[in-house]
Amino acid sequence: MFERCRAEGRTAFMPYVTAGYPGASETVPLLLALEAGGADAIELGVPFSDPMADGATIQHANYVAVEQGVSLADCLGFVREARARGLEAPVILMGYYNPILAYGEERAPRDAAAAGADGFIVVDLPPEEAGSFLAACRGADMSFVPLVAPTTTGARVEKLAAAADAFLYCVSVLGTTGQRSELPPELPEFIARVREHTNLPLAVGFGVSTREHVEAVGRIADAAVIGSAIIAAIDAADEAHRAQRVRELVESVTGH
C-alpha cells in the first residue's frame, strides 16, 4: 500500500473508526464507506473501557460500543464480513492490550489473520513487554505497529523500528487524540528526527482532522491518520446517512 501511494506521488490516508459505534450493524457499512471515499488503509478501533490515549470523542465511542458488549471477537467478525462484501484496504486493529490478553495472545493474531485483518496497533503495549504477542504476530504474518511520541529518543526509535515491519505510528502531540485547529509547529522536526533512525514508512496521527492537515503531513511523512473527525461526522449525521456522510468526509480529504 505504501509503495503504491509513493508511486502515485500521494500521501496514504488511514482513517479510524471505532468498531460497534454507534451500533454493531453500522460498522461494516462504515468500513466500506471509508474505502469508497478513498481510504488506503483503515484503523478499526477495538472497544475498551479505559481508552487512556483517546480524547472525549473517541472515549465516548468506546463507551457506547462497550455498553453494547462489542468484543474483539465481534471486531474480527466485522472484518470478515467486510472482506466478504468486497473490502480490499488493509485493516489494522487499533486498541489496548487488555482485550487481546483476554482473548488470548496466541489466538488473537491467528484469528485476526484468518478474518482478513492485517495488523495491530496496541497503544499500551511497548515492544519490550510484547515478546510473546510480537512472536504470535510474526507467526501469523500480522504487522505490529509501534507508536513513537515526540519525546522518544533516537535510541528508542531504533528499538521500536526493530519491532515493526510495516510502518511506525508517530503521535503528533503529547496528549490524547482529538481534533485540533493546527498541527504542532515542531512536527516537521520530530518527523525528521525519527527519519534519522529508520527507513520504515511513517504515519502521523493525533490531532489530524482536515485536508490541510493531511497535505501538511504529506510533505513530511508517508501517511495521515484521522479519527476523531470521522467519529464527529458520524455523530452529526442522521442514522440513515451516516455511511454516506463518512464517505463524503473522506472524499473531501482525499480528493477521491
Contact 214, 226 (CB under 8 A): yes
Are the beta carbons of 158 and 198 closer than 8 angstroms? yes
Quote the longest CA-to-CA distance of the chain. Answer: 50
| 238 in Cβ contact with 222 (< 8 Å) | no
Q: Starting from the edge strand earliest in sequence, which strands make up the sheet with 143-144, in order? A: 143-144, 119-122, 91-95, 42-45, 12-18, 223-226, 202-205, 168-171, 147-148
251 flagged as catalytic:
no
Instruction: Please give the torsion angle defined by the CA atoms of residues 71, 74, 76 and 77, in that order, rounded to the nearest 10 degrees.
Output: 180
105 belongs to the catalytic site: no
Q: Which of 26, 35, 40, 43 is catalytic?
A: 43
Return the axis-axis angle of helices 242-254 and 211-218, rounded to nearest 10°.
40
Q: Nearest to residue 44, comparing CAs of 6, 82, 10?
A: 82
Which residue in 26, 35, 40, 54 is the catalytic one?
Answer: 54
- Peptide bond preceding 29 in cis form (omega within 30 of 0): no
* Alpha-carbon span 112 to 92, nearest angstrom: 10
Q: Round to whole Å and give the CA distance between 109 and 93.
A: 10
Active site residues: 43, 54
